[in-house]
């Protein structure tokens, strides 16, 4: 039943084996939840698995570093692959029934370069998509394949990757995929930094400065809540402050939370979200602050690592 601890999860390496696993569970009328990841797991991923456990009888996590969402010069080759540690974390957590760990050929049988792609609408070329052309097409393409293999009733995604969440929801609705998308809150270290696999790229000195990204979002959100409607000036000021602190910002933007459209000035603050992406050393950090949030809930804070 949802919420119960499970035995040691089974590791599945092929699409056929994953489909067989799901068919067996469906024969017992069990609901399936999917938690897609690229591995290098941390408390953020584990929180999504806990949420999935509360939503369905059976939880399938996936670990696959997807080549089609990385652009030229990005960190595909160096992206941390820590399968043994990941499986140990999942075993200890006791919230996952199966872990689907395919190789590239299982996901792209004709090769990633010759694969059928999902082409996403204009939103995928804004914000993170502006500096990572083709990224969200690659994300949508792999998620579509994982949904076809696992056929879950529920898919759990994190709110930290907010644009990804909105883009995937759009794909699910547009293609009529019968899955319910549930979002899990951003997990943070005690100083406010959003937990991310790429945080390990930070040097000790950069790690001290990294929470300034979230602090910049808090400053913009506070000004908007206090009635400042000059979003352009707020965005520019935040970007300038990040630069002065050693960041190289891609963007700081205020958008409508529901669909990431640009606000028209008539939305109340609680319909808005502030998003940012910035490079700090070798790490590209992303974060967001939904203006409905008033403070960090204790359930969303992890001990510093």
Q: How confident is the model at residue 1 (pLDDT cuts 50, 70, 90)?
A: low
Average the pLDDT over 24-52 and give the result: 97
Structure tokens at 138: 């690659």
> What is the model's pTM?
0.92
Does the pLDDT at position 7 exceed 80? no
Can you give the residue range of the structural domain that contains 256? 190-292
**Does residue 295 register a pLDDT over 60?**
no
d(CA 266, CA 248): 31
| Beta carbons within 8 Å of 297's beta carbon, 6+ residues apart | 185
pLDDT in tens, 63-90: 999 999 999 999 999 999 999 999 999 9
Domain boundary among 172, 187, 202: 187
Closest by CA to 175, choosing from 215, 206, 147, 153, is: 147
Task: Give me 199's structure tokens.
Answer: 């945080």
- For 86, left (φ over 0), alpha (ψ -120 to 50), or beta? alpha
- CA nearest to 253, candidates 217, 205, 199: 217
The count of other CB atoms within 10 Å of the CB of residue 133 is 12
CATH of the domain at 240: 3.30.1300.10
- Residues 95-117: tens digit of each pLDDT: 999 999 999 999 999 999 999 99
Which CATH number characterizes residue 121's domain?
Answer: 3.40.50.620
Lookup result for tokens 């097409």: 137
Question: Cα separation of 97 and 7, whole Å?
Answer: 7
| Domains: count for the chain | 2
- Last-in-domain residue among 169, 187, 205: 187
| For residue 182, pLDDT beyond 70 | yes
Asked whether residue 284 carries a pLDDT value surpassing 60, the answer given is yes
Is 4 among the domain residues?
no
Whether 45 is catalytic: yes
Query: Is pLDDT of 296 > 90?
Result: no
pLDDT band of residue 260 (cuts 50, 70, 90) is very high
Q: Could you give the CA distance from residue 63 to residue 90 in angstroms, rounded to a whole number?
A: 11
Say if residue 200 is in the same domain as residue 181: no
Per-residue pLDDT, 231? 97
What mean pLDDT do residues 252-279 have? 96
Among 3-12, 242-251, 254-263, the least confident range: 3-12
Residues 276, 259: Cα–Cα separation, whole Å: 16
DSSP assignment letter at 67:
G
**Of the residues 13, 42, 45, 135, which is catalytic?**
45
Mean pLDDT to the nearest integer, 197-226? 97
**pLDDT of 237 above 50:** yes
pLDDT of residue 299: 36
CA-CA distance, 208 to 191, in Å (whole number)?
9
Q: Do 157 and 188 touch, CB atoms closer than 8 A?
A: no
Mean residue pLDDT across the chain = 94
Residues 74 and 152 in one domain: yes
Mean pLDDT within 7-33: 96
Mean pLDDT computed over 251-265? 96
Question: 159, 187, 215: which is the final residue of a domain?
Answer: 187
Report percent pLDDT > 90 for the chain: 92
Residue 25 clears pLDDT 70, i.e. is over it: yes
Q: Are residues 144 and 197 in the same domain?
A: no
With bands split at pLDDT 50, 70 and 90, how would you rate the model's confidence at 6?
low
Share of the chain above pLDDT 70, in %: 93
The rounded distance, in Å, linking the Cα atoms of 200 and 132 is 21
168 and 203 share one domain: no
């Amino acid at each position: 039943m949802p919420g119960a601890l499970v035995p040691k999860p089974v590791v599945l390496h092929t699409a056929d084996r994953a489909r067989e696993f799901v068919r067996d569970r469906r024969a017992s009328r069990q609901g399936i939840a999917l938690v897609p990841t690229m591995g290098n797991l941390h408390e953020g991923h584990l929180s999504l698995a806990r949420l999935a456990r509360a939503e369905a009888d059976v939880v399938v996590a996936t670990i696959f570093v997807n080549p089609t969402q990385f652009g030229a010069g990005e960190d595909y080759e160096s992206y941390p692959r820590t399968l043994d540690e990941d499986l140990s974390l999942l075993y200890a957590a006791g919230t996952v029934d199966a872990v689907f760990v395919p190789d590239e050929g299982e996901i792209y049988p004709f090769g990633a370069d010759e694969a059928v792609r999902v082409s996403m609408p204009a939103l995928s070329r804004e914000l993170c998509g502006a500096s990572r052309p083709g990224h969200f097409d690659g994300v949508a393409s792999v998620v579509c394949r994982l949904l076809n293999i696992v056929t879950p009733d529920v898919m759990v995604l994190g709110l930290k990757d907010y644009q990804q969440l909105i883009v995937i929801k759009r794909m699910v609705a547009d293609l009529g995929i019968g899955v319910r998308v549930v979002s899990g809150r951003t997990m943070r270290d005690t100083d406010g930094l959003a937990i991310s696999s790429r945080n390990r790229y930070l040097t000790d000195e950069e790690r001290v400065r990294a929470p300034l990204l979230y602090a910049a979002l808090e400053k913009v959100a506070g000004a908007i809540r206090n009635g400042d409607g000059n979003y352009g000036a707020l965005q520019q000021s935040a970007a300038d402050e990040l630069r002065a602190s050693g960041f190289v910002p891609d963007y700081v933007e205020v958008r409508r939370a529901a669909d990431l459209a640009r606000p028209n000035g008539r939305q109340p603050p609680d319909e808005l979200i502030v998003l940012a992406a910035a490079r700090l050393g070798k790490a590209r950090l992303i974060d967001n602050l939904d203006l409905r949030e008033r403070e960090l809930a204790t359930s969303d804070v992890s001990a510093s690592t």
